[in-house]
Structure 1
Amino acid sequence: MPRPLTLITGGTRGIGAAVARRLAAEGHDLVLGYARDEDAATRMRAAVESLGASCRLVRADLTSDEGIDALFGEAAEAGRLAGVVNNAGATLHIGPLTQTPSDVIRRVIDLNLTSAVLVARRAVAELAEGGVLVNISSGAATTGSPGEYVHYAAAKAGVDALTKGLAIEAADRGIRVVGVAPGTIDTDIHADASDAGRVARVAASHPLGRAGRAEEVAGVVAFALSSDASYVTGTTIRVAGGR
């Protein structure tokens, strides 16, 4: 049986990297998009190749049409996509909305919503019949994240609507669209927004008393892509420790 080919945006760090490792271990070949961290990308390719996967790295700015074209063009050269994990995102800033600069708000919404919609549009056009698109949302989409990143939460709520509507549009081609909404996960996203201590600060408030691990999200993404989830579409699975 041929190995499925899966594209992961933001696939070389954080949740994306954990998903890449999990899928490589489960027999997927990979196309990994990334923004700028060449060292992380090189390490990730070596890691998934050691698990038996073939891997293409594509440096691409997903806030531009050219970047999305480059990413999917490289994927087309590798073969027909069976799955796309629409994962690239960032908060960029933590603080009340009134203290969040306008340019940061625009950048966050552009990356987390506009680019996610455009990647999803291209994914559904490129996926083989029976393929799966997984949109990475956030628990913030329903909590609103007051005092931290309301702008990011608003963008991710849009991703949840994208998952629902696009799943219905794509159903007649046998393509499933599933959302996965992580809560507080211990990755570099917090340090990238200049608040490296956020995980430790908020973890105790979760019902499970801890932050999540990227590998725990990866397991749910792997499920969503698998035949075990063959009747799952148009919904967002929450991985948020009870919040």
Structure 2
Amino acid sequence: MTPVTVITGGSRGIGAATARRLATAGHHLTLGYRRDQATAEALATDLRATGVQVTAVCADTRDPDQVAALFEAAAELGPITGLVNNAGITSPIGSFVDLRLDDLREVVDVNLVGYVLCAQQAARRMGEGGAIVNISSVAATLGSPGEYVHYAAVKAATDTLTLGLAKELAPRGIRVNAVAPGIIRTDIHALSGQPDRPERAAGRIPLGRPGEPDEVAAAVAWLLGPDASYTTAAVLRVGGGL
């Protein structure tokens, strides 16, 4: 049976890198995106050249109806076997005491509520052999003081979600794991107001450089694949030593 995988935030960054790896491995894919239809459709076109089926679906993961529609579109490709919970945002870097309530709520809604809604849909639809990978962050254990403590707290919740859901779904043969990237070269840093953050932070990363999206995608692909058949409830750190 051909794997069918849903990737939220699938049009760019870690999501797009994961899509490329999985397409090469023969997965049919549904790429969720929130705004940039042109980028999502261009990626889908490129991936179809590998011989797999790919759909790009506009879906705000905070909205349960849109999440359901995303998974319904994926189910048209075949039984859903995988979910990569990747859609995420941060907010402007700064002091905790200056955090705006609107920014807090959006970070919680996208990075936690959205993950829960997508995981619910996946759990309802998957059979034995299914796998969910949540994208967490090394921030969950570092706390991100002076940058975004609230984001770190939400990523810690992602790790707990991963643990609890892994134990709940294990009797059904569904595995749930997380990947915790460190500082990776993606455009999420521009959204936080510091597009050059990966390069500026290189000196405090033990391996001496920021990571690349494909290095995270490799970990995600392994967790989704048969070589990780006995791995569940794990948080795989891909942070260069952070």
TM-score band by shorter chain is: over 0.9
Question: Cα distance, 1:153 vs. partner?
Answer: 0.6
Equivalences for residues 14-93 of structure 1 within 5 A: 14-93=13-92
- Evaluate the alpha carbon distance shift between residue 168 and residue 54 of structure 1 in structure 2; reply closer, same or farther with a 3 A threshold: same
Counterpart of 1:114 in structure 2 is: 113
1:134 — aligned with what? Answer: 133
SS across alignment from 1:85: strand
Superposition misfits of 4+ residues, deviation over 3 angstroms? none
- List gaps (5 residues or longer) in structure 1: none
User: Residue 161 of structure 2 aligns with which residue?
Assistant: 162
**Percent identity of the aligned residues?**
52
Alpha carbons 2:165, 2:176 under 8 Å: kept: yes
CA distance in 2, matches of 1:26, 1:60: 25
- Tell me how far apart the structure 2 counterparts of residues 152 and 67 of structure 1 sit (CA, whole Å): 24
Mapped partners of 2:50, 2:210: distance in 1: 27
Distance 2:63 2:120 in 1: 14
* 2:214 counterpart residue number: 215
SS of 1:204's partner is: helix
Give the TM-score taking structure 2 as reference length.
Answer: 0.98
Distance 2:210 2:202 in 1: 5
Aligned partner letter, 2:205: H
Q: How many residues align?
A: 242
SS in 2 for 1:78: coil
CA contact (8 A) 2:13 2:186 kept: yes
1:128 Cα deviation from its structure 2 partner: 2.3
Q: Contact (CA 8 Å) 1:117, 1:159: kept in 2 or not? A: no
Shift in Å, 1:3: 2.0
* CA deviation string 1:145-188 (max 9, x = no partner): 11111111111100000000000100111000011000000001
Give, as a single letter, the amino acid of the residue that structure 1 aligns with 2:208.
G
Partner of residue 144, structure 1: 143
Query: Which digits, 9 at most, give the CA deviation of each residue in 1:78-129, with x for residues without a partner?
Result: 2111111111101022111112211001100111011111211221111122
- For structure 1, which segment, 182-191 or 73-82, has the greater mean C-alpha deviation from structure 2 after superposition? 73-82
Distance 1:111 1:17 in 2: 18
Task: Say whether the 8 Å CA contact 2:28–2:77 is kept in structure 1.
Answer: no
TM-score under structure 1 normalisation?
0.97
